[in-house]
Structure 1
Amino acid sequence: MNKRDLVRLCRYYDGKDDSGTLTGNDVMFYFYEQKWVQWNLMIQSGEADEVRFFGEMLDDYNRAGLEDFESGDDTPKTIKALLFNRYNHWCQGDGFKEFYIKEYRKAIE
């Protein structure tokens, strides 16, 4: 997938270097989606560290029992795993599902 294809899978990141008028959590989502696109492009170019990092995030996400969480919302599992990783880094505890639904998924409702 090229950058344009990856950006189409994002809810907040639009491919630009600036988040524009976004505020609050939307800026954070923009930043993480931007990183997700960059990491995917790095993986495609063969940068092994990023492959390992994505694998570890996916493993943690699956071990938490989230492998089928919101599977019909068209968000790539790797974006969800990244958001789960960051949620656990900043919030440490239960609540990811509620956070995801209320704060991230709202973009499609």
Structure 2
Amino acid sequence: MDDREKLMELCRYYKGEKENPYKEEQNKACLWSYERAWLLEFTKPQSRLLMSYLSQYTAVGLTCFSTDDNVPITLKALLFNRYARTQYSNYEAVESFKRFYNKYYLDM
């Protein structure tokens, strides 16, 4: 098993498909595309984009959020970044992101 396959095992939606299989389910379709983007970015050496997302994620105090769910922190950071862009500020997004993450990412 190569590194890409190991990383894919950490994804809940993206399983290496070329086409998004969730076209009819908006939330799942978005989560699939975010996982795909995370995997592609993670496999780049020294990804500045993921490091930027991680800095944003830790700056708002999410470092210890849901640490036992087997989801890499850089993936959670990317999900937070995508979620927070629709909010007034990153800090305002924290509590609603936690609810979103638990309901739409962990429980789906």
- The TM-score range, normalised by the shorter chain, is 0.7 to 0.9
Q: Matched residue of 1:73: which SS?
A: coil
Q: Which runs of 5+ in 1 are unaligned?
A: none
Give the aligned partner of residue 87 of structure 2: 91
Give the aligned partner of residue 62 of structure 1: 58
Give the aligned partner of residue 39 of structure 1: 41
Q: Distance in 2 between matches of 1:21 and 1:39?
A: 21
User: With structure 1 as the length reference, what TM-score do the two structures score?
Assistant: 0.84
The higher relative CO (CA closer than 8 Å, separation ≥ 6) is in: 1
User: With structure 2 as the length reference, what TM-score do the two structures score?
Assistant: 0.85
| CA drift at 1:2 | 1.7
Q: Name which of structure 1's ranges 85-94 and 65-74 shifts more when overlaid on structure 2.
A: 85-94
Q: Give 4+ residue runs of structure 1 displaced > 4 Å after superposition.
A: none
Q: Distance in 1 between matches of 2:53 and 2:75?
A: 10
| CA drift at 1:90 | 2.5
Normalized per residue, the structure richer in helix is: 1
Aligned Cα RMSD in Å?
Answer: 1.5
Give the aligned partner of residue 10 of structure 2: 9
Aligned residues: 101
| CA drift at 1:9 | 0.5
Contact 2:53 2:77 (C-alpha < 8 Å) held by counterparts: yes
Give the aligned partner of residue 18 of structure 1: 19
Could you report, residue by residue, the CA deviation over 1:12-44 in whole angstroms, capped at 9, with x for unpaired residues?
10111112245121000000000111111222x
